[in-house]
Structure 1
Amino acid sequence: MKARIGKTVDQLEVGESAYFAKTMTNTDMLMFAGVTGDVNLLPIHDEFAKKSIFKQRIAHGMLTASFITNIIGMRLPGYGSTVKRQSVRFTNPVFIGDTIEIGLTITATDIENNTADFTVNATNQDGKEIMVGNGVLIPPTPIDEEE
């Protein structure tokens, strides 16, 4: 029996896209700080953040970027996929209560090396760009699984 996997490199199509939406919460930000050990005051301390250029707490940039793996591992290509390389630029901050939508688009496939290039664009609930980037992913390969 074949294990459940996402699309293989030969099944991916250039221009194919998938999306993930998430409303940023205080819990998300605190859990990310705890897991990573990044206890920078800007994302976790109200009084400190009020005195910053942002006037309020902002999400860790890498928290926002980490949602790209949700698309790759769960949607496109899906189960069995991983990120090989990823580069992002944060264009605007993400605040508690912001709903962000991240879109990932396949831009090229390389069957010989079992990779696919992608671009990523993220916006908030007002349509304001918050992150852009690109990368290379490794789609799954078919796996035989014994019963």
Structure 2
Amino acid sequence: MQSKSIQEIKIGDFAVFQKTISEGDVYLYAGISGDFNPAHINAVEASKSMFKERIAHGMLSASLISTVLGCHLPGAGTIYLGQELKFKKPVYFGDTIEAKAEVVEMNVERNRVILKTTITNQKGEIVVDGQATVMPPVKQK
């Protein structure tokens, strides 16, 4: 896994990670998180909701941002300091979503990078919008 120090990062740099959300992903996330909301795991109850079918946990989708930050940009060794999120649309079972993180601001002296974070579905619709603050890894001399 590659990682970039703040000296190697530029405004406009970005990375993406794409995944198709399966029923198994949702059940595994429910088990890990303890969130067994019927909107996610009960087809009968979910059919009565505003979405008319089961949807993935919002935080399951948002977790793909962590994948981008910790594995791609800045990469391994990145410290996640904060995240703002707005959930715009539901993610359904079988949706292919893409998490993107783009560098929008840097503070070299404090070793901080701010990235615009966006998750879109296969239709190009924004399902999650936000901003992350991270501390990139420091390269050893």
Smaller-chain TM-score bracket:
over 0.9
Partner Cα separation in structure 2 for residue 6 and residue 116 of structure 1? 14
Map of 1:35 onto structure 2: 32
Residue of 85, 88, 91 corresponding to 2:85: 88
Structure 1 counterpart of 2:81, which letter?
A: K
Among the aligned pairs, what percent are the same residue? 36
Residue of 113, 128, 133 corresponding to 2:130: 133
Map of 1:121 onto structure 2: 118
TM-score by length of 2: 0.95
> What is the CA deviation profile of residues 99-126 of structure 1, one whole-angstrom value per residue up to 9, with x for unaligned ones?
0011110011111111100101111111
Alpha-carbon RMSD across the aligned residues, in angstroms, is 1.3
**How far 1:82 sits from its partner (Å)?**
2.3
Partner Cα separation in structure 2 for residue 47 and residue 127 of structure 1? 29
> What is the CA deviation profile of residues 56-85 of structure 1, one whole-angstrom value per residue up to 9, with x for unaligned ones?
001110111111010001100111112100
4+ runs deviating over 4 angstroms = none
Map of 1:19 onto structure 2: 16
Structure 2 counterpart of 1:67, which letter?
A: L
TM-score by length of 1: 0.92
Q: Which has the larger radius of gyration?
A: 1
